[in-house]
Structure 1
Amino acid sequence: MRSANILHNPKAGEGEYTKKKLLTLIRNAGFECSYSSTKKKGWDDVEAAADFVVLAGGDGTVRKVAAVMLDRKMPIGIIPLGTANNIATTLGITGEPKDIIETWNNKNIKKYDVGRIYGLKKAEFFLEGFGYGVFPRLMKVMQKKKERLSDSPEKNLKMALEELHDIILNSKARYCKISLDGADHSGKFLLAEVMNTQSIGPNLNLAPFADPGDGSFDVILIAERQREEFASYVHNKLHGIEQAPVFNILNAKNLDIYWEGRLLHVDDEILELKEPVEVKIKLQEGVLEFLVPEHPSESINAIEKAKAAEKPSSANSA
């Protein structure tokens, strides 16, 4: 695995990583590579002769490229340069680009599930999440304030969390008819989110143990009675306090959802419907393959060891 196609969003990461800089880093690691900007026509003409594809950008870039890679069995390496990087973070791809590039030689592959959507004309799949309620409302507000966004990802995340806190306190809970693998979980909710990654949006870590390759979605339903808890979680995050979310997490492969509202999101895209519709979601296992820093089994072992270390010994607890 020595040759790669680089697909780069040159605007990601404040433009710090230019075409020249990326090519230098990747070639210095011993890889041959070609380059395409996702901002120019023809970027999606991926060379079949390459061993793998490199995505340099944020979550939007990953989704954009995934749309043309769903039916190709070609490993994907990510250099996360976006604001949130929810997909890369869930996959354990963090740190400096130089260090990430060096891990590609390990050839550790992580299969990645995709959510297929039925019932919407403008969206067919999702990688991160699909949902209704306060989160798509936040996305709409942030779109209107686009001109106020700065070059600093940290400042933009802070602004998003401030807006989300206000939205949570003032939003009306809506009725959602939802079936998870045939079981009814309908009710009135502030948020109904089908998650494939551990976090969405401004790094909301609502599904801390989500695994996009485990053959199941994490479904979070936040009811009216949990409004204050949700607002408190966002308030703490806004002030640098990472609090473990206390919301119940359900698991499902197949879902039927009808939300009494017209606004929803599919990954980082907002959709506003003419009228509410019933949507079906089906999990498609292992459609994508990503290069990750360590073997998934090693990650699981590391998590288990960390959990064990946190537990008091029988002697201490006696």
Structure 2
Amino acid sequence: MRILLVHNPKAGSKEHEGEDFIKALKKAGHKATYQSSKEKGIAKALKKRVDLVLVAGGDGTVSKAARHLVAMNSEVPLSVLPVGTANNFARSLGFCLSAKELIERLNDGKCGTFDVGLARGPWGKRYFFEGAGAGLFADYMRAPKRDGKKDKPKSKAEAMRSHVKELRRRLQTYRARQWEIEVDGIDLSGHYLLWHVMNIRSVGPVLTLAADAKTNDGAFDFVGAREKDRDLLLDYFDARVAGKRRKFPLRASLFTKMRLRWNKWPLHFDDELWPAKDETPPKRCEIQLIVKDSALRIWRIE
């Protein structure tokens, strides 16, 4: 196959160098070209004739490449070498093999489809693939990071546990906030500790908020936690910090369209926040989130 490798050079370890991936792809019989996700030129590279876009990186790198493909209405499939930290996108597709094994099995893959989220607001339109939401997690993304003098986590699991531990600490004093939300014509407005529109099962530090979410069912999963759910959230975070498996305690509901009135608090779309720190948004505005059925092609390797 003719493969474009979109690689995040800062993701993974020394075993995940772009040059090594290119060599492995050529050894497997593919014609591979390289594009760094940290440099300009992704859109131009995607316009060249290729059979597959292979992303080596984390969720942010996957979203960057996927946004370009969807905006171009491309029929070229995307696949993932999950060398990031959380790898929520890859997890949702069942990519549990090593990068080496995935490359060796590329020829055995099958093309499938993936639903894409479309958000319309003051910015125009933007696509998202993992999910969108507000409250505790979005505010944590916006908050200044703690002093980096402490030892860095030694593993991905420890890094995720560290984030969950901090979310748990913040939740103890976090105030629920009023949101005006309408889902498929049903008013769900109220005070929320957090709410999320899930396109896949997990978000952020592998918070599996919608365990039954499907990536090609033409619908989102809505999950919302109100003040009465605070203790349930604390218990869930406690279990995660302790390394225990625990199903998220709140039920998700399917929907296809959301309308919300925004007036102050940050929203996240995948790993990006709106409004950006240097952006001056309107005081109030309406935002719509809808599903674009099967807007992205995926090369599944099992």
TM beyond 0.5: yes
Q: Which residue of 2 aligns with 1:37?
A: 36
Question: What's 2:145 paired with?
Answer: 144
1:244 to 237, 243, 247: 247
> TM-score, structure 2 length as denominator?
0.91
Does structure 1 retain, via aligned residues, the 8 Å contact 2:262–2:287?
Answer: no
The percent identity for this pair of structures is 31
Higher strand share: 2
SS of 1:150's partner is coil
Name the counterpart of 2:299.
Answer: 291
Name the SS of the counterpart of 1:124 in structure 2: strand
**1:264, 1:270 within 8 Å by CA — same for their partners in 2?**
yes
CA distance in 2, matches of 1:80, 1:194: 23
| Inter-partner Cα distance in structure 1 for 2:5 and 2:30 | 11
Residue segments in structure 2 that go unaligned for 5+ positions in a row: 276-280
Secondary structure, aligned partner of 2:152: coil
Preserved contact between residue 206 and residue 245 of structure 1 (Cα < 8 Å): yes
Write the letter of the residue equivalent to 1:176: W
Q: CA RMSD in A?
A: 1.9
| Alpha-carbon shift at residue 123 of structure 1 (Å) | 5.9
Question: Are 1:77 and 1:104, in contact at CA under 8 Å, matched by a contact in 2?
Answer: no
Aligned length: 292
More helix by share: 1
Measured after TM superposition, the shift of residue 104 of structure 1 is 2.0
Give 1:106 deviation, angstroms.
2.1
Q: Distance in 1 between matches of 2:272 and 2:129?
A: 12
Give the CA deviation at 1:14: 3.4
1:137-286 to 2 correspondences below 5 Å = 137-141=139-143, 143-145=144-146, 147=148, 150=152, 152=154, 153-259=156-262, 261-272=264-275, 273=281, 275-286=283-294
Q: Per-residue CA shift, 1:174-230, capped at 9, x if unaligned? A: 122211111222221111100101000010011111112110001101111010100
**What is the DSSP-based 3-state SS (H/G/I as helix, E as strand, rest coil) of the residue aligned with 1:256?**
strand
Structure 2 equivalent of residue 16 of structure 1: 15
Shift in alpha-carbon separation, 1:171–1:123, aligned structure 2, 3 A = farther
Return the alpha-carbon distance in structure 2 between the equivalents of residues 50 and 140 of structure 1: 37
Q: Distance in 2 between matches of 1:91 and 1:145?
A: 33
CA–CA distance in 1 between the matches of 2:66 and 2:122? 19
Letter in structure 1 aligned against 2:20: K
What corresponds to 1:83 in structure 2? 85
Q: Judge which range, 164-173 or 273-282, deviates more.
A: 273-282
Structure 1 counterpart SS, 2:35: strand
* Contact 2:131–2:269, Cα closer than 8 Å, also in 1: yes
Between the aligned partners of 1:68 and 1:83, the Cα distance in structure 2 is 22
Measured against aligned partners, the alpha-carbon deviations of 1:228-282 in whole angstroms (never above 9, x if no partner) come to 1001101110110010112021111111123564211111012245634321111
Say if 2:262 and 2:286, in contact at 8 Å, map to a contact too.
yes
Instruction: Extract unaligned runs of 5+ from structure 1.
Output: 295-318
Contact (CA 8 Å) 1:138, 1:160: kept in 2 or not? Answer: no
CA contact (8 A) 1:178 1:258 kept: yes
* 1:48 pairs with 2:48: yes
From the superposition, tell whether residues 165 and 159 of structure 1 become closer, same or farther in structure 2 (CA, over 3 Å).
same
Q: Is contact 2:42-2:65 (8 Å) kept?
A: no
Residue 121 of structure 1 pairs with residue 123 of structure 2 = yes
**How far apart in 2 are the matches of 1:258 and 1:157?**
32
TM-score, normalised relative to structure 1? 0.86
Indicate conservation of the 8 Å contact 1:192/1:219, yes or no. yes
Q: Deviations over 1:147-170 (max 9, x none)?
A: 458374333222211110012211
